[in-house]
Amino acid sequence: MNYLIGFILLILIIAPFIASFKIEWGIYLRSTCKIDTKEKEVAITFDDGPDKENLPELLDMLEQKSVTSTFFFIGKSIRENPEMLVRTNLAGHKIGIHTYSHAPMLPFYSVKRLAYEIYLTRHLIKSVINKDVSLFRPPFGVTNPNIAYVVYRTNLKSIGWNIRSFDTISKSDDRVVSRISKRLRPGSIILLHSNIRGAAVLAGKVIDEVRSKGYKIVNI
């Protein structure tokens, strides 16, 4: 009996921590992790950026392939590269908030500090492209009560994913493409990154693979 009680207590302690890293569970924050469709349609989204090294080539490739996506940008990178935000917006892509700092310890920030991160990024986007954006993606896909509170109070819509590419750690484009291909389902939301070396080449391969499977690429 003591072992059973200990096991239950352990689960009660660990479960909230695991739930923080499972955005698709929606335990703390309800997030859109799948497009509501039964058609063979998927969305490709990009985190981080904007940057001058990789984003221009990525935008060129997306234009050539007639694909529009949603980019979740970091506030401090917008401040450094406002012209890239302008270009992304003019190309017809949607813009979302990915906090100002994307700091490793951000999930542990206070409500006040999290609210400022979001306010500052939202204000920057508004000042540069004159749009009041409403989409938000939690850095690292981590959610908790503080993040949920701020998102709800600021009337943002949290966007997650159901296909994580792991493109930031994989050394092989083919492995990334294979991972995505095996998990494709109607309504899938694919997570890629716009600020990694070779982002355009990888995204182009993903687009070709998705289309070869008979899927249409739509925006969120």
Taking only the tens of pLDDT, the chain with its 220 residues reads: 555 554 444 444 565 667 677 898 889 999 999 999 999 999 999 999 999 999 999 999 999 999 999 999 999 999 999 999 999 999 999 999 999 999 989 988 999 999 999 999 999 999 999 999 999 999 999 999 999 999 999 999 999 999 999 999 988 999 999 999 999 999 999 999 999 999 999 999 999 999 999 999 999 9
User: In b/e form, how buried is each residue of 106-119, taking b as 16+ CB within 10 angstroms?
Assistant: bbebeeeebbebbe
Q: Which of 42, 15, 72 is nearest to 183 (CA)?
A: 42
Other Cβ atoms closer than 10 A to 170: 15
pLDDT for position 15: 56
pLDDT for position 22: 81
pLDDT for position 24: 87
**208, 183 contact by CB (below 8 A):** no
pLDDT for position 21: 72
Instruction: Kindly give the residue spans of alpha helices, DSSP state H, lying in 94-169.
Output: 111-129, 145-153
Domains within the chain, CATH numbers bracketed: 2-217 (3.20.20.370)
